[in-house]
Structure formats: C-alpha cells, structure tokens
C-alpha cells in the first residue's frame, strides 16, 4: 500500500463516476424500476402500540377484483434481525404488535391504488396491552415484557466495563464534575423513501432489488426468513437516495415482496410512504447520560465514569452494538487513564432505534465535549488548551483497549483555533454572540463483522479483456457517499488508467464478491485495500508479459498514463490495451481478486469487539453563533472544521462529506427530534410520531446553513488505501456540542439537551434570572441494576486485555456475533506507550 504522494487519480478533483447519470435523471433508484406484469404491495400496519392480535379478517380485501394475495404472520414462521443476538423481527408480526406501524398483513394487487384500498379493508382485532413510552417507564415496568428475550423485564441489554481503578482515580482528583445530559432521538430522513421489488429471475430464482446499504445482510435475512438456500438468492442494491444508516437493517418489506414474488411468480413492488419511513426508523437512540469525571487542578483528567440509558424502541435492530458504541470512543479522543462505562438499552413501544451517522457515538460525544467546556470554564482554562493537554497519542492502546494508529487531532485543533480566531473570541464576543469548540473521533470501519465468521469483510474482483476493458466487481452499495468512485479511482490509480477506463458492477449479491455494506465508514478503507490487492495482482500478471515483450526485468515495468513502459526509457512501451493483450496471451483469460480483513482487536473482554477499527479519523470544529436577546433564536454564523482524513480520495467528494456531516450535525443540534405523542385512550393510547413529515420534522434548509471553512489534515495512515481514513461520519460528531458550547459563550447558560432550541435557551435564561442554576437539561440518572462490571486492567497497569472476572471468550454475546477476530499476521501496534 503506497503512501507515496505521487498519485495521479487519488486526491485529484474529478467528476464522480456516477455524476453524469445523476444529473440526467438516468440513475435508476428502486422505485424507478418497472417490470412487465408487476404487482404492488401495501402493508397493513398496526394502529396499536402494544397489543395481542386476536383476529385478522382479509375477506373483503380478497374479494376485490385485482387483489392477488394477502399474507399475514402465519405465512412467515422464521424470525430475522440484523444481529445474531437479536433475531426478534418477523416479516409480518406474529402474535402481537409492539409499536404503531408494525406490519400485520400484506396485500398484493394489480395497482398501487388498489393495494392501498384493499389494505384499508383488512380488519384487525386487537387486545391492547400496557404500553411503555420511555426507558424510565421501561425500568419501572418489567411486565408485560415487550419481548421474551433480553436481560430482564424490558431491559434489552445492560453492560458494564471497568478499566483500571476508576473510583479511586476520580475520588483522588482535585475536582469532580458530575453532569447529566440528554441527547434526543432523531431520524435519517433520506429524501428517497425505501422501496423494493421482489422478482423471480429468468433462472427461476429469487432476486430482490432494494434501496439498501447492506445487500449482503438483506440476502442473509431473505435466505433465513424464507428458508431458501443462500446461493439461490440474489439482492441488487439499487443506488440509494441517501441512507445515513437508515437502510442498513434488513427490512420486513423486502422479505414480504420477496415471498410474494415467489408465491405469485410475478414482480412485486413496494414503495414506502414518507410516514412509513418514519416508522421504519432505526435512527438515533435517545440517550440519557451521566458523566462523573475526576480532574486535577491543571486540567488533567484522572478518570471518567459514564452511564448511558438508551431508548431502544420496539426491536433489537443494531441496539446491542449501539449500546456498546455509547461507551466505545471516549478514550480514543482523550488519554483517559481510567474509565468505567455502563450502558443500558430498554425496549419501548416505539419505532426501533438503530444506527444513524455516527452510530451511538454522537450522544456521549455531546456529553463529553460539553462537560469538557464546563471543566475548562471552572478551572479558568481555555477549552482548546484543556483538550490539547490530554490527546490520545498516536500508536497507542487506550485504557479500554482500542488500538489507535495515526492521529492528526492536535493539528486539527490548532487549525480551527487559528482560522476561527477562537482564542481571541472565546469569552470576549459581545453579548448574544458566542463561539464554541469540540472534537471527535470515529472509526474507519468496524473491526468485526455483524455475524461471526473468519471471512474477508470485502472482496473485489477484476476482469480484463483484449479490448482493454477493466471491469471491477464489488458488493459495496452506493448510497451517495461515492463508493463507486472510490472503487474506480483505486483500480485506475494502480493500473495507470482513468476512472473512465473502469466499468463497475457493484452491490449485486448474485455476481459481486461480498462486501458487508455501507456502514461504519468502512467501504473506502476495506474495499479500497481489496481493490489495491486485486489491481496489484493484475499488474504482476500483465507486467510479467510486458517485461518479456520489452525484454526488461519486471521491476522496471511502469503502469502510467494509459501505457505500460520501461521506467528507464519511457518511450519503450506498449499501450494499455496491448499490455492486456500480452497478458491474456501469456496467462489466458485475465482476472484477479483482492480481499480485506481488519487487524485483530486488542481487547479480549466481553464487549471488546465494539469500537476497534483499522484506523480512527479525528475532527475538531469551532462554531460561532448569535442568540437573539428577545426571541433566543439561534443563528449559526460560521463553522470552521478540520478533519484528519489520512489521504483525500477525491477532494470534491471529501468536502461534500464534511459539509454534509456539518449540515446534519447542526440540524440535529438545532432542530431535529423524533417526538412522540400519546393518543387519547379511546384511540388506543398509541404512541405516534408527532411529526412524521418532511415539513414538520424540522431540518436545516438553505436559509439556515452557514458558511463552512473546511481543512483536511492528510497524514497517511498505514492501514488505509493510499493512507485514507473515513470522512462520512466523523465530521458530524463535534457539531452538537460545538453549538451548545457556543450558546454558553453567547448567553451564559447551558442547554444540556439536544436539540438546542430557542425555547430551551429561554428557559435556561429564566432559571438564571431567578437565581437558579443557569441551565436546561436532565437533573438525574435513574438507579439501574447494573451487571457486575468486567474488570479489565489498562495497558498502563500492565493488563493483557482480558477481564480478571470473566472466563475469556465464551459469552453468549461473543458466541453469537461480537466475537474477536482471530489473530492475523501483519497487524501490530508499534510503540505502545504507557
């Protein structure tokens, strides 16, 4: 993997490979697909939040001319779910519903209008059960259980991890800061609503087209839930009109149209309405947090004790991973010598939460970064200096056993501080005007797959022929982030071509090597490394033939500028096409493969599998705001952001990822919230979305989006392709705490809860005016019966990554998904510091 800067394609600004089709309206999204004799599916969704299904009467629907099929839970006996530990969903619910919007029946008809009409004619009789609206209620209400699995009562998962003597470290500190925060839930809101088409292909096999970020996981869920041999299933991920994590679960509607197509022998399409997308959800978990932090007089942190309480909604989804993620990355940003994390996820009768951009980490990031701001103020330090004095060093292992490789966080902070004039402005701007700073860390791909296996996380296959054609096959799904462009650019870079010379076949589980999906910012690094390996292998084969032809040693063969030539005499060479012909003549039909698997995790304790990554990105940001003194209206004036990306693949797309993350982070900070309301008892007391529409679920428009000053720190990471690290999620993370910290600087009150709305600022100001604590936010954290913490010695204490009170490697969790990858050669951390 070359970290050389002599790059011709990588790092150059260029039109993305799918750009032309997108501006012409040629790109076929899932709902754009049309097949002859296509039927339409509509789901009958629960109007009840928690109820036993007593009866379903579909006779009226079935009597309608053009209605072809009605299915219910009886047609789907096998459960599925994204995590092996949470196989708790059925394509159509069986027995009871757990939320408004749960799919109860499916109607398939000759037109969409008819399907809608017939779905309305399906009568469902329910027997209501007690509903649970939030985690506090869930903790107090063990019965009735929403699910019959999970830790106990309505607690889905409670975890506790302890690294070092954290209590002694905190109590021995000069100051102890105890703060509560609440981060509100919110949703992805992709402009494209989910859609899928089930078909039986010309070979008589199931083929499902879907707007999914994870075609491989949908493939697995289809094979399992429909009991079909996996090799007879094919999933084609259509380009997604935005994902942001919202299309990473296998969904009930995908399995339903798959089954319907098999039953009816005709294509069956489903296109969700915007309201249904809100109920699919899998968005940001609402999280209540308590942070207890010990600090020395000089600002050095001695330990952090973090508790999180997650509102999981009605299903498991990625929730166990989300829970661990709320505690995974604190020590990766700052060198905390001791750390305790306890996290609890409860079930509630609301749409399930899951992974949204930043998966489980923006919530504690908000708490940690706002608390650091409070500590700095209390100690009379500049918040930038407080952070700079305790950054996690490069090539180190953290207290919680995360291996950190490269880090450019120091430079990120220095850049945004300088460019924004943070030191000159902080505490010195006129009243109503304020500036805030925050930092963050994110993974470049999860170190472990969703389900335990010893296989590569991604594969790339290259095919060459005598026309000079290069076709790259990879299972990666293009969700708008530019993964297709990365694939083409990587292959082109290695082979001395342009992206136009490479044809792509991606996201098709029937014909492409498996890639686990577009989540956890994994694709550029993992697919990129696999593509480099495949292209290097092709280079060796073709280079061998060219060296023979030119009568030069193989190591003098250079691939550049669409030619293959002698390094010592560039005029001596052949065109790319002739080189492929020589290669094909020598070796026969030319094809190569590449694959990638991340290095093993350092931690050997239960839960140590969530958080490790081949490389971490780092971000620092500064936000300047103005708060209107009368209305408390919050106006973000400008954002400065610096992101440690390792190596930019395409500056146009990389900047788009940063600005898009800034936008989404600001939007969450200022207005986005998944708010629910309870209908009156005569309407079932259902918990329904308050704002299931694009108009009323507020998000930033052009009018609120501020100017953004973006800087990339490019220190190539040895684990990244050409040194590249992630950029799609990390830059979102500092935004919410930046805004809260800037509001404090502007008006002197703390809003310890997202979104930071004018109303909350006004309430905090009211408290201040009346001599009470100048803040708005939660005041307590409930008492939770935590499991005994896994006690893990830190690397600084000479630990070995195992928990002293745990039998190594045999927990249920590990056995079913979150297992540590076996050691593989080549992955080592150098210069581990204590």
Partner 1 sequence: MTTTTTQRISFTLNGDPVSVTFGTHKTLLEVLREDLNLTGTKHGCELGECGACAVLVDGKPVLSCLMLAVEAEGTKVTTVEGLADDARLHPLQEAFADCGAAQCGYCTPGFLCTAKALLDKKPDANRREISEALAGNLCRCTGYIQIYEAVETAAAKMAKEGAKK
Among 45, 96, 98, 188, the residue binding partner 1 under the rule CB under 8 A is 188
x/- mask, partner 1, residues 9-28, rule CB under 8 A, reads ------xx-xxxxxxxxxxx
* Count of residues that bind partner 1 according to CB under 8 A: 61
Q: Say how far apart CA 356 and CA 665 lie, in whole Å.
A: 11
Compute CA distances 355 → 186, 352, 518, 521, 813, whole Å.
Answer: 11, 10, 12, 12, 19
Nearer CB in complex with partner 1: 272/402: 272
Among 81, 150, 153, 190, the residue binding partner 1 under the rule CB under 8 A is 190
Among 59, 171, 273, 585, the residue binding partner 1 under the rule CB under 8 A is 273
Bridge partners of 557, per DSSP, are 566
Nearer CB in complex with partner 1: 363/481: 481
Q: Which stretch binds partner 1 (CB under 8 A): 31-39, 519-527, 573-581, 717-725?
A: 31-39
Among positions 274-333, residues that touch partner 1 (CB under 8 A) are 274
Nearer CB in complex with partner 1: 697/776: 697
Among 191, 571, 630, 831, the residue binding partner 1 under the rule CB under 8 A is 191
Nearer CB in complex with partner 1: 21/168: 21
Query: In angstroms, what is the minimal distance from the CB of 642 to partner 1?
Result: 16
Q: Which stretch binds partner 1 (CB under 8 A): 63-71, 463-471, 579-587, 621-629?
A: 63-71
Query: In angstroms, what is the minimal distance from the CB of 703 to partner 1?
Result: 5
Contact present, 195 and 32 (Cβ < 8 Å) = no
Among 385, 536, 659, 767, the residue binding partner 1 under the rule CB under 8 A is 659
Nearer CB in complex with partner 1: 195/328: 195
Compute CA distances 243 → 30, 124, 189, 208, 302, whole Å.
Answer: 13, 33, 8, 18, 39
Nearer CB in complex with partner 1: 191/681: 191
Nearer CB in complex with partner 1: 578/704: 704
Helix 215-225 vs helix 252-264: angle between axes, to the nearest 10 degrees? 60
Nearer CB in complex with partner 1: 616/663: 663
Q: Say how far apart CA 90 and CA 79 lie, in whole Å.
A: 5
Nearest CA among 357, 398, 318 for reference residue 608: 398
Query: In angstroms, what is the minimal distance from the CB of 753 to partner 1?
Result: 24
Structure tokens at 244: 């942001």
Nearer CB in complex with partner 1: 63/455: 63
Nearest CA among 288, 151, 164 for reference residue 605: 164
Residue 586 within binding range of partner 1, rule CB under 8 A = no
Among positions 437-496, residues that touch partner 1 (CB under 8 A) are 479-482
Contact present, 266 and 39 (Cβ < 8 Å) = yes
Q: Say how far apart CA 819 and CA 312 lie, in whole Å.
A: 23
Angle of CA points 562, 567, 570, to nearest 5°: 60
Residue 378 within binding range of partner 1, rule CB under 8 A = no
x/- mask, partner 1, residues 396-415, rule CB under 8 A, reads --------------------
Q: Say how far apart CA 734 and CA 253 lie, in whole Å.
A: 35
Start-to-end Cα distance in the chain: 29
Compute CA distances 28 → 173, 241, 374, whole Å.
Answer: 59, 10, 50
Nearer CB in complex with partner 1: 239/614: 239
Q: Say how far apart CA 639 and CA 416 lie, in whole Å.
A: 9
- Cα 489 to chain centroid distance, Å, stands at 23
Q: Which stretch binds partner 1 (CB under 8 A): 230-238, 297-305, 499-507, 659-667?
A: 659-667
Neighbours of 271 (CB within 10 A): 19
Question: Which is it for strands 339-346 and 563-566: parallel, antiparallel or unpaired?
Answer: unpaired
x/- mask, partner 1, residues 233-272, rule CB under 8 A, reads ------xxxxxx----------------------------
Nearer CB in complex with partner 1: 188/359: 188
Compute CA distances 459 → 472, 600, 601, 678, whole Å.
Answer: 10, 18, 21, 47
Q: Say how far apart CA 255 and CA 41 lie, in whole Å.
A: 12
Q: Say how far apart CA 696 and CA 706 lie, in whole Å.
A: 21
Cα dihedral 169/171/173/174 (nearest 10): 180
Residue 738 within binding range of partner 1, rule CB under 8 A = no
Nearer CB in complex with partner 1: 322/699: 699
x/- mask, partner 1, residues 117-156, rule CB under 8 A, reads x---------------------------------------
Cα dihedral 786/792/794/799 (nearest 10): 170
Among positions 672-731, residues that touch partner 1 (CB under 8 A) are 693-695, 699, 701-703, 705, 707-708
Contact present, 606 and 813 (Cβ < 8 Å) = yes
Query: In angstroms, what is the minimal distance from the CB of 323 to partner 1?
Result: 26
Query: In angstroms, what is the minimal distance from the CB of 440 to partner 1?
Result: 17
Nearer CB in complex with partner 1: 22/152: 22
Query: In angstroms, what is the minimal distance from the CB of 324 to partner 1?
Result: 27
Which residues have CB under 8 Å from 32's CB, separation 6+? none
Nearer CB in complex with partner 1: 110/300: 110
Q: Say how far apart CA 817 and CA 823 lie, in whole Å.
A: 17
Among 7, 52, 62, 64, the residue binding partner 1 under the rule CB under 8 A is 64
Among 8, 655, 678, 768, the residue binding partner 1 under the rule CB under 8 A is 655
Helices (H) and strands (E) in the chain, counts: 21, 33
Which helix (H) or strand (E) segment is 535 a member of?
Answer: helix 523-550
Nearer CB in complex with partner 1: 111/824: 111
Which helix (H) or strand (E) segment is 634 a member of?
Answer: strand 634-644
Query: In angstroms, what is the minimal distance from the CB of 196 to partner 1?
Result: 16
Token look-up 């757990």 returns 98
Q: Which stretch binds partner 1 (CB under 8 A): 183-191, 213-221, 562-570, 602-610?
A: 183-191
Residue 114 within binding range of partner 1, rule CB under 8 A = yes
Nearer CB in complex with partner 1: 153/215: 215
Residue 664 within binding range of partner 1, rule CB under 8 A = yes
Query: In angstroms, what is the minimal distance from the CB of 191 to partner 1?
Result: 4
Which residues have CB under 8 Å from 756's CB, separation 6+? 634, 669, 670, 736, 739, 740, 743
Token look-up 């929403």 returns 146
Query: In angstroms, what is the minimal distance from the CB of 66 to partner 1?
Result: 6
Q: Say how far apart CA 612 and CA 610 lie, in whole Å.
A: 6
Among positions 634-653, residues that touch partner 1 (CB under 8 A) are 652-653
Which residues have CB under 8 Å from 411's CB, separation 6+? 642, 644, 713
Interface residues with partner 1 (CB under 8 A) are 15-16, 18-29, 31-32, 34, 64-66, 113-114, 117, 188-193, 239-244, 273-274, 479-482, 652-653, 655-656, 659-664, 693-695, 699, 701-703, 705, 707-708
């Amino acid at each position: 993997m070359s970290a050389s800067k002599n790059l011709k394609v990588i790092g150059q600004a260029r039109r993305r490979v799918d750009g032309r089709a997108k501006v012409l309206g040629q790109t076929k999204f899932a709902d754009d697909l049309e097949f002859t004799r296509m039927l339409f599916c509509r789901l009958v969704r629960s109007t009840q939040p928690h109820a036993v299904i007593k009866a379903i009467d579909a006779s009226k629907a079935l009597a309608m001319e053009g209605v072809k099929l009605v299915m219910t839970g009886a047609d789907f006996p096998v459960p599925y779910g994204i995590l092996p530990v949470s196989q708790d969903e059925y394509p159509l619910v069986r027995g009871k519903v757990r939320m408004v919007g749960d799919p109860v029946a499916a109607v398939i008809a000759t037109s969409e209008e008819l399907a809608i009409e017939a779905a309305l004619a399906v009568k469902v009789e329910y027997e209501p059960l007690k509903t649970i609206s939030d985690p506090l209620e869930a903790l107090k209400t063990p019965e009735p259980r929403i699910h019959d699995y999970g830790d106990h009562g309505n607690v889905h998962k409670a975890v506790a991890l302890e690294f070092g003597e954290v209590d002694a470290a905190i109590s021995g500190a000069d100051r102890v800061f105890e703060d509560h925060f609440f981060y509100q839930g919110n949703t992805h809101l992709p402009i494209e609503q989910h859609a899928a088409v089930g078909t039986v292909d010309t070979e008589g096999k199931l083929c499902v087209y879907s707007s999914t970020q994870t075609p491989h996981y949908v493939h697995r869920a289809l094979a399992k839930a429909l009991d079909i041999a996996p090799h007879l299933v094919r999933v084609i991920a259509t380009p997604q009109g935005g994902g942001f994590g919202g299309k990473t679960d296998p969904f009930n509607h995908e399995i339903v149209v798959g089954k319907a197509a098999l039953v009816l022998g005709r294509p069956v399409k489903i296109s969700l309405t915007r309201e249904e997308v809100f109920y699919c959800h899998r968005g940001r978990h609402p999280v209540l947090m308590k942070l207890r932090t010990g600090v020395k007089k000089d600002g050095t942190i001695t330990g952090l004790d973090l508790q999180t309480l997650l509102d999981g909604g009605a299903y498991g989804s990625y929730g166990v991973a989300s829970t661990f993620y709320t505690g995974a990355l604190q020590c990766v940003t700052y060198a905390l010598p001791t750390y305790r994390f306890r996290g609890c996820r409860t079930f509630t009768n609301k749409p399930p939460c899951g992974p949204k951009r930043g998966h489980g980490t923006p919530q504690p990031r908000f708490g940690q970064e706002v608390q650091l701001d409070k500590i700095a103020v209390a100690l009379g330090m500049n918040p930038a200096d407080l952070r700079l004095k305790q950054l996690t060093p490069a090539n180190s292992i953290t207290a919680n056993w995360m291996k950190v490789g490269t880090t450019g966080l120091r430079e990120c902070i220095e850049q945004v501080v300088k460019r924004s004039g943070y030191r000159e402005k902080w505490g010195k701007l006129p009243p109503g005007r304020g500036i805030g700073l925050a930092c963050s860390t994110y993974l470049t791909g999860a170190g472990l797959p969703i389900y335990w296996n010893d296989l590569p996380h991604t594969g790339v296959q290259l095919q060459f022929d005598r026309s000079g054609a290069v076709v790259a096959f990879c299972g990666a799904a293009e969700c708008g982030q530019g993964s297709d462009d990365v694939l083409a650019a990587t292959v082109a870079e290695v082979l001395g071509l342009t992206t136009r010379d490479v044809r792509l076949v991606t996201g098709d589980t029937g014909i492409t090597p498996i890639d686990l999906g577009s989540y956890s910012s994994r694709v550029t690094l993992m697919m990129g490394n696999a593509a480099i390996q495949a292209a290097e292998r092709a280079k060796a084969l073709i280079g061998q033939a060219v060296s023979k032809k030119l009568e030069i040693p193989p190591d003098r063969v250079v691939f550049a500028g669409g030619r293959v030539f002698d390094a010592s005499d560039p005029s001596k060479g052949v065109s790319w096409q002739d080189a492929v012909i020589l290669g094909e003549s020598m070796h026969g039909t030319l094809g190569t493969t590449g694959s990638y698997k991340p290095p093993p995790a350092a931690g050997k304790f239960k839960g140590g599998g969530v958080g490790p990554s081949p490389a971490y990105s780092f971000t620092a940001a500064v936000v300047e705001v103005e708060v209107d003194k009368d209305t408390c209206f919050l106006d973000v004036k400008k954002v400065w952001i610096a992101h440690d990306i390792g190596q930019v693949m395409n500056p146009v797309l990389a900047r788009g990822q940063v600005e898009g993350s800034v936008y989404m982070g600001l939007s969450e900070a200022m207005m986005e919230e998944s708010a629910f309301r309870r209908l009156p008892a005569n309407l079932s007391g259902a918990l329904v979305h308050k704002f299931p529409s694009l108009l009323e679920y507020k998000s930033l428009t052009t009018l609120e989006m501020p100017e953004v000053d973006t800087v990339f720190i490019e220190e190539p990471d040895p684990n990244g392709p050409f040194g590249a690290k992630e950029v799609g999620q990390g830059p979102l993370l500092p935004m919410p705490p930046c805004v809260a910290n800037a509001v404090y600087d502007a008006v002197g009150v703390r809003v310890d809860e997202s979104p930071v709305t004018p109303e909350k600022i006004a309430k905090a100001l009211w408290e201040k005016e009346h001599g009470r604590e100048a803040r708005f936010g939660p005041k307590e954290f409930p008492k939770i019966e935590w499991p005994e913490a896994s006690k893990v010695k830190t690397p600084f204490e000479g630990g070995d990554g195992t928990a002293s009170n745990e039998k190594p490697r045999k927990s249920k969790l590990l056995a079913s998904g979150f297992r540590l990858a076996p050691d593989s050669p080549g992955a080592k951390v150098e210069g581990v510091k204590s």
